[in-house]
Structures are given as C-alpha cells and as structure tokens.
Amino acid sequence: MDQNISTLILNLAYLIGSITFIIGLKMLSHPETARKGNMIAAVGMSIAILGTIFLKVGGDNVAIKYAIIFGGLIIGTVVGFIAAKKVQMTAMPEMVSLFNGMGGACAMLISLIEFHIDDKPAIGKLVIIVLGMIIGTVSFAGSIIAWGKLNGKIKDKTIAGGQIINFILFGGIIILSTVVIGGFAPDLTIYLFYGILSLAAIYGILFVMPIGGADMPVVISLLNSFTGVAAAFGGFLYDNPVMLTGGILVGSAGTILTILMCKAMNRSLKNVLIGSFGGAKAGVAGAAKEQGNFKEISLNDTAVLMAYAQKVMIIPGYGLAVAQAQHTCHELEKILGEKGVEVVYGIHPVAGRMPGHMNVLLAEADVPYEKLLEMEDANDQMGSTNVVLILGANDVVNPAAKEDPTSPIYGMPILEVEKAEHVIVNKRSMKPGYAGIENELFFRPKTSMLFGDAKKVLQNLIAELKQV
C-alpha cells in the first residue's frame, strides 16, 4: 500500500478513535446511555488498535511480530473477559483498582522501553519519559496497595513519621530526575533512572498505605487520573493522538471526579491524603463514646410499617453489595409499588468502595434511573418520607458528621435520614462501619434495628409483605 494512503487511513482510524472516546465519555454521564457509550468507545479503540497493527508494524519478521502482538491481545482479552464476567459486585472496586494499576504499569513499561531504545533523547522527550515512568509507577504501586486494602489482604498501617518519609522520597525523586534530565552524571544515568523507578514505587506504596477505608473511593479516583496522565505521556512519546486523547480524558475526568468527591465529603484532597480518615485513630475516637441503648424491630412490624406508608426511601450501602441483595431489593421495591407505595433510593456520592458503586449495583438489578436520587434531592424529600430503610450504609448517615465537632467525619454532608418519620437500619451487627466510627443514629428514638444478612432479611420481608 502507498505510504501516503497508509498514513491517511491510520490518521483517520486515530480520528475515529478520539471522537468515539469523547462521545463515549459524554454518554457515560447518564446511566441510561452509559453501556452504549462504553461500547462506542470500545469500538473506536478497536479500530485504532487494528489500524496501528496493520499499518505501522512492518520491517523484518513481520509474521513473528504479528504472532507476538495477537498472542498478547488474545491472552489479555481472555483474562479480562473471564475476570469481568466472574467478578461479584462486592469485588468490583478491587478489580477496578487492579485494572487501573495495570494501566499504570503499561505507562511505566513504555517509558522504560523508550529510555533504552533512544541512547541520547532530546531533553523534551527525556522529560516525558521520566514523568511518564514516575506517574505510571506511583499509579501501579498505589493501585496494587488499594486493591489489597479493599479485599482485606492489606490492613491500614500508619508508619511513624510517614509524612516526613514521603516528603523525603518525593524530594529524592525530584532531585534524581533533575540530574538525569540535565545530564549532570552521564555515566550514572541508567542507575539513577532505576533509582527514580524504585523511589516512585516505594512512594506509591507509602502514599496509599495509611489512607483509611472510608477514603478509598477518592483514592481510586485519584489513582485513575494518574494513570490517564501517564498514558497521555505515552501518546506524546509515540505521537499517537488516540493515546493522547484517551489519557487526557481519563486524567481530567478522574481529577474532576476526585474534586467532586472531596467536596461531597467536605474535605480537601490534602486532608484525604494525610488525614488517614477511617484508619485506626478514627476507630479509637469513635469507640470512646457511650451511646446508650438501641431498639430492634421485627420483620412483621417492618412489613406493616412499609405496606401502609405513602413513601419509602431505601438507602443502599456496601452491606447490600456484600449480601448480593440488589435484585431482592428491586423485588421489594416492585411489591411496595403494587401496594401503592412510592419507593425511591437515596444515593450518597461516596457510598460503597468506589465512585458510583451504588449506581452500578442498582443498575445491575434494572432499578429505574429516575428512582435514584442524588444526596441533595434525597435530603429535600426526606421530610415527606414515611419510612427510610438503610441497607448496609453506615458512615453516610451518621449524624456525628453534623453534630460532633470531635468526630473525624465532622463536616461531611450526609443523608439526613432523621427527617423521615421512621428509620429502619439493616445491619449484621452493631459493629462500626468501614470508617471505624460508631454511628449515633442507631441509638436515636426514631431508629429501629433490623439485624441479619441483607438478602435474607429482604427475602423474609417480601414474604411478610405478601401477607399484609
């Protein structure tokens, strides 16, 4: 094929890929179009990948190159497909962290390869190589730690003087990078480069290690933006518009999402990163208060209360995901609807273990999007709600966020469930939530506790409702 025609077709493939990324991201902003948007972006990516393979790969041993490339594509596709199909909703956050870490690792490997290919790169190219390697390595190491923390294999651990150590590591990375980029020690360049890689890996680990469980959605979003930025640097290195566009979109969207989530928690990003919210200290602080007594409610009384209500609001949390009870919850919603009860869902932006966790969970059960109320809208309707049913949520309904200045979550906007007539909380036990903070709501006069696994409780509740 003529070189000019080949270049024209390749650029057209890249243009299609970039446009589909933008369209896909726009469609992801609404649950009703999110799946279609994801598919459109995937098709665009496939066009860009195939265009690159067939129009850029050449030279000697083309057959061997194709065998290696397609072998990697097939293996990655099979592994990714099986992992995505088998993953439970409870494990979705850690899978997102793991896949995000793989993106960071790819960006790191691109920088390593380019560093070794080009013996004397221009300063601009070397800056991109070093920055891509640093950010990709931090994203990879941090995402792996986040994955371990989310699945319980790694516990929160605050190292004495950890912030000082991180500052020293960060300073060391800057100094070594300056030496490498400036060419001040040409004989030591390769050793210094791998020194930067090592420091960045250690920094990524120590950066995420002390961050508490309640802040993990913010951390996942931040690490995702890091991976996007690192991928954008790869786009610069290869003069590849698709990598550049995709990286910029992921980096900017991740950054915006991180800022919005921090706003939803009424905390600065700096406070999230150094505050260890949800760590051991929070647990100690939350456990120190004497709360008093709580009251339980039976399934029969719950069924009667909900059956004769005009409006019920369900507040989903991680406990709902653990019990895999989203489909049963939707069934409860439909039965109440048949009895003339209006049912809506109150969604807190940081409920669960990753951004949008509850939206994804309920979308899987085909809950109509119009029934999902964002926190502000849910709070506006709380006063007209007869019964609030809290399923596994904890910290996002804790009144200490509004009333107790000594609480680690003080100032965080919450779902103001106490405005409703009755509050029913389904939990397995009275243990504190993921943030390790005791919830004062459980001991309030309007609140009744309904203990048990969410799925089993909802199944029994449905059976009771059918008899009311």
Per-residue model confidence (pLDDT) at position 287: 42
Element (H, E) at 424: strand 422-427
Nearest CA-CA partner of 407 in 285, 280, 253, 242: 285
Name the stretches of the chain with pLDDT < 50: 276-288
pLDDT of residue 280: 42
d(CA 72, CA 66): 10
In this prediction the pTM is 0.80
Return the pLDDT at 451. Answer: 93
Rounded to whole angstroms, the Cα distance separating 440 from 372 reads: 26
- Reference 146, options 409, 355, 315, 363; nearest CA is 355
Q: Which of 25, 51, 86 is the last residue of a domain?
A: 86
CA–CA distance, 257 with 253 (Å, rounded to integer): 6
* Catalytic-labelled residue, pool 239, 301, 366, 395: 395
- pLDDT for the residue 190: 94
C-alpha to C-alpha distance for 361 and 15, rounded to whole angstroms: 34
Domain boundary among 36, 55, 86: 86
The answer as to whether 200 is a domain residue is yes
The H or E element that residue 37 is part of is helix 31-56
Residue 123 and residue 184 in contact, taking contact as beta carbons nearer than 8 Å: no
User: Which residue segment(s) compose the domain that 124 sits in?
Assistant: 91-277
282: in domain: no
Residue 277, pLDDT score: 47
Cα–Cα distance for residue pair 357/372, rounded to 1 Å: 13
**Rounded to an integer, what is the distance from CA 126 to the centroid of its chain?**
32
30 and 108, same domain (yes or no):
no
Told to judge if 187 belongs to the known catalytic residues of this protein, a careful annotator would answer: no
CB neighbours of 359 closer than 8 A, spacing ≥ 6? 31, 347, 372
Q: Do residue 314 and residue 383 come from a single domain?
A: yes
Residue 283 located in a structural domain: no
Nearest Cα to 214, choosing from 149, 265, 277?
Answer: 277
pLDDT at site 455: 93
Domain boundary among 277, 302, 327: 277
Q: Give residue 28's pLDDT.
A: 86
Pair 132, 269 in one domain: yes
Identify the pLDDT of residue 436.
64
